[in-house]
């Protein structure tokens, strides 16, 4: 299927190298901007109004990287990974083409032991870092691009991104879904009466960011997330012993070393109302449900001249990371005889809910799309809608998928519904309030927007 060639195919070992590719040369219109005079909170508002794209704002575009200079302390970086094509181009281990063929030759590359040659802060003071409030309604400042590592590697390794509320200079409140490997490791440690050593890595490489968004339970046995990141990067990821007992990534801009404790806290600060969190990946305000676990930060280390990477929550950046990670997880979990030729999680679904899938010619005549859809939803459980199209449809072009949806099916007849999966509560249309207002129970679906067998000549493009 049509797909632009990856623009960058070079060694990108860390976030700093990726950022440097945008700085090379005299001008990079729309890709790199530098702004001054804006606090971290004001920077988020500026980025949302001027640069953020769907689903954060009704803007169909990639996001630029914007470096917000701060008068004191580290600068704040938003949007670096806010372009699917740019982000995938920083994964030199991936071949060009559709996802199934691109991952066919991926082989694990074990992490490279390295020293933690970062500067250690004299004291822990989270307030010295420019963590922003994403909106004035937030419970407080949040760590939004913190990648948590627990364990040392292999089967006991957890690598995942979480939103973390800054409670004070030494404590964070971390949000974890019940299904996360990190929570399982934490519960095992608490059952033994101890805290779980972790590291929180901020400013990680593109390969680590994408690998973290895959589904651990469905990775092939030969991979864990760090060996997968090495495969994507085409080189080993540097891993060092952390100061709290967990492995860490010394090529990160900052590392927060600490312990995941059994203590809990509400997602609120001071006299603010409970229940309000930063915006979620679909573009709506989040709603705090379960209490947060408390992280005790015992040490902070950084690279010289480190910048703090953050993201809005919704928008192209979060969608690109989640979408590429989801497509990678799906491709790795496909059987060898798969009829799928390519996949893409669309930004309109926050990189998780809406999946485009290109099928081989004639696949619908020999493939049970309902069963295939259930398989895809089992691998990435946040998948809500799958749109099947032909190979000549460019999945990177949302208008092209909409064209196929409009001209290659009768939508009212082409939808298959799945009603026995759990609703996705982050999606407003799957909440109890929506059920009461509409009278329709939550469901998921797939759409067959492919040309029926034998009618290919009637549906050829003119150009």
Which pLDDT does position 30 carry in this prediction?
Answer: 55
On the question of pLDDT at 457 being above 80, the answer is: yes
Q: What is the mean pLDDT of residues 141-153?
A: 91
Q: Which residues contact 163 (CB under 8 A, 6 or more apart)?
A: 142, 143, 144, 174, 175, 277, 278, 313
**DSSP for 281-319, written as a single string:** TTSS-EE--SPEEEEEEEEEEE-TT--EEE--SSSHHHH
Q: Which of 165, 192, 198, 168 is nearest to 180 (CA)?
A: 198
On the question of pLDDT at 184 being above 80, the answer is: yes
Which pLDDT does position 277 carry in this prediction?
Answer: 77
> Residue 21: how many CB atoms within 10 A of its CB?
18
Which pLDDT does position 273 carry in this prediction?
Answer: 62
Our separate counts of H helices and E strands in the chain read 12, 21
Which pLDDT does position 375 carry in this prediction?
Answer: 97
Encoded tokens for 412: 């009212």
What is the CATH T-level fold of the domain 353-459, as seen in this structure?
UbiD C-terminal domain-like (3.40.1670)
Average pLDDT, the chain: 92
Tell me the HSE value of 419 on the side-chain side, using a 13 A CA sphere.
5
Tokens 């805290």 label which residue?
Answer: 195
User: Predicted confidence band at 223 (pLDDT cuts at 50, 70, 90)?
Assistant: very high
By the 8 A CB rule, do 280 and 320 touch? no
Residue with more model confidence, 293 or 272: 293
Percentage above 90 pLDDT, the chain: 83
What 3-state DSSP class applies to 343? strand
On the question of pLDDT at 17 being above 80, the answer is: yes
Please give the model's pTM, rounded to 2 decimal places. Answer: 0.94
Backbone angles phi, psi at 266, to 5 degrees: -80, 155
The 10s digit of each residue's pLDDT in 339-381 is: 999 999 999 999 999 999 999 998 988 899 999 999 999 999 9
Which pLDDT does position 268 carry in this prediction?
Answer: 77
On the question of pLDDT at 27 being above 60, the answer is: no
Percentage above 70 pLDDT, the chain: 93
Domain range list for the chain: 93-310, 353-459
353: left (phi over 0), alpha (psi -120 to 50) or beta: alpha
Q: Which of 61, 74, 79 is nearest to 18 (CA)?
A: 79
Across 86-90, 269-273, 429-433, least confident range: 269-273
Q: What is the rounded distance in angstroms from the CA atom of residue 71 to the CA atom of residue 82?
A: 25
Choosing among 3.40.50.620, 2.30.110.10, 3.30.300.30, 2.40.180.10, the CATH entry for 93-310 is: 2.30.110.10
User: Predicted confidence band at 4 (pLDDT cuts at 50, 70, 90)?
Assistant: very low
Which pLDDT does position 5 carry in this prediction?
Answer: 41
Residue with more model confidence, 60 or 278: 60
Q: What is the rounded distance in angstroms from the CA atom of residue 92 to the CA atom of residue 101?
A: 15
Across 25-29, 37-41, 53-57, 423-427, least confident range: 25-29
User: Predicted confidence band at 179 (pLDDT cuts at 50, 70, 90)?
Assistant: confident
Q: Which residues contact 108 (CB under 8 A, 6 or more apart)?
A: 222, 223, 224, 227, 228, 230, 231
Residues written for the chain: 463
User: Predicted confidence band at 272 (pLDDT cuts at 50, 70, 90)?
Assistant: low
Residue with more model confidence, 288 or 234: 234
Across 49-58, 70-79, 176-185, 304-313, least confident range: 176-185
On the question of pLDDT at 276 being above 90, the answer is: no
User: Predicted confidence band at 289 (pLDDT cuts at 50, 70, 90)?
Assistant: low
Backbone angles phi, psi at 440, to 5 degrees: -110, 130
The 10s digit of each residue's pLDDT in 439-455 is: 999 999 999 999 999 99
Residue with more model confidence, 211 or 178: 211
Which pLDDT does position 271 carry in this prediction?
Answer: 65
Which pLDDT does position 6 carry in this prediction?
Answer: 42
Which pLDDT does position 229 carry in this prediction?
Answer: 97
């Amino acid at each position: 299927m049509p797909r632009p060639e990856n623009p960058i195919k070079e060694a990108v070992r860390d976030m700093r190298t990726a950022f440097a590719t945008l700085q090379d040369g005299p001008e990079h219109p729309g890709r790199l901007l530098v702004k001054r005079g804006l606090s971290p909170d004001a920077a988020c508002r500026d980025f949302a109004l001027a640069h953020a794209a769907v689903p954060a704002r009704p803007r169909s575009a990639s996001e630029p990287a914007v470096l917000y200079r701060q008068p004191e302390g580290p600068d704040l970086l938003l949007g670096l990974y806010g372009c699917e094509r740019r982000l995938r181009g920083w994964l030199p281990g991936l071949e060009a083409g559709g996802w199934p063929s691109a991952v066919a030759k991926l082989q694990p590359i074990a992490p490279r032991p390295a020293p933690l040659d970062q500067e250690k802060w004299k004291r822990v003071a989270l307030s010295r870092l420019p963590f922003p409030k994403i909106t004035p309604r937030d419970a407080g400042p949040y760590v939004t691009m913190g990648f948590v590592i627990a364990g040392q590697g292999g089967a006991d390794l957890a690598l995942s991104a979480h939103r973390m509320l800054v409670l004070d200079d030494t404590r964070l409140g971390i949000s974890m879904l019940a299904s996360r490997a990190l929570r399982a490791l934490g519960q095992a440690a608490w059952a033994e009466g101890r805290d779980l050593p972790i590291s929180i890595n901020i400013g990680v490489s593109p390969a680590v960011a994408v690998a973290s968004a895959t589904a651990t339970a469905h990775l092939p046995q030969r991979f864990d997330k760090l060996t997968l990141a090495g495969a994507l990067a085409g080189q080993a990821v540097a891993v060092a012993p952390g100061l709290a007992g967990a492995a860490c990534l010394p090529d990160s801009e900052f590392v927060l070393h600490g312990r995941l404790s059994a203590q809990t806290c509400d997602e609120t600060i001071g006299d603010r109302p409970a229940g309000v969190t930063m915006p979620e990946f679909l573009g709506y305000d989040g709603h705090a449900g379960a209490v947060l676990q408390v992280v005790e930060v015992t040490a902070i280390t950084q690279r010289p001249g480190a910048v703090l990477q953050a993201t809005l929550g919704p928008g192209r950046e979060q969608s690109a990371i989640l979408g590429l990670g989801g497509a990678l997880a799906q491709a790795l979990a496909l059987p060898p005889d798969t009829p799928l030729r390519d996949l893409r999680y669309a930004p309109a679904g926050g990189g998780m809910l809406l999946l485009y899938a290109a099928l081989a010619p004639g696949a619908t005549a020999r493939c049970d799309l309902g069963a295939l859809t259930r398989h895809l939803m089992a691998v990435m459980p946040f998948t809500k809608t799958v749109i099947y199209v032909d190979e000549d449809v460019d999945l990177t072009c949302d208008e092209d998928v909409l064209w196929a949806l409009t001209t290659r099916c009768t939508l009212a007849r082409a939808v298959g519904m799945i009603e026995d999966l759990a609703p996705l509560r982050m999606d407003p249309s799957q909440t109890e309030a929506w059920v009461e207002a509409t009278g329709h129970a939550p469901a998921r679906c797939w759409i067959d927007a492919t040309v029926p067998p034998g009618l290919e000549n009637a549906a050829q493009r003119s150009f």
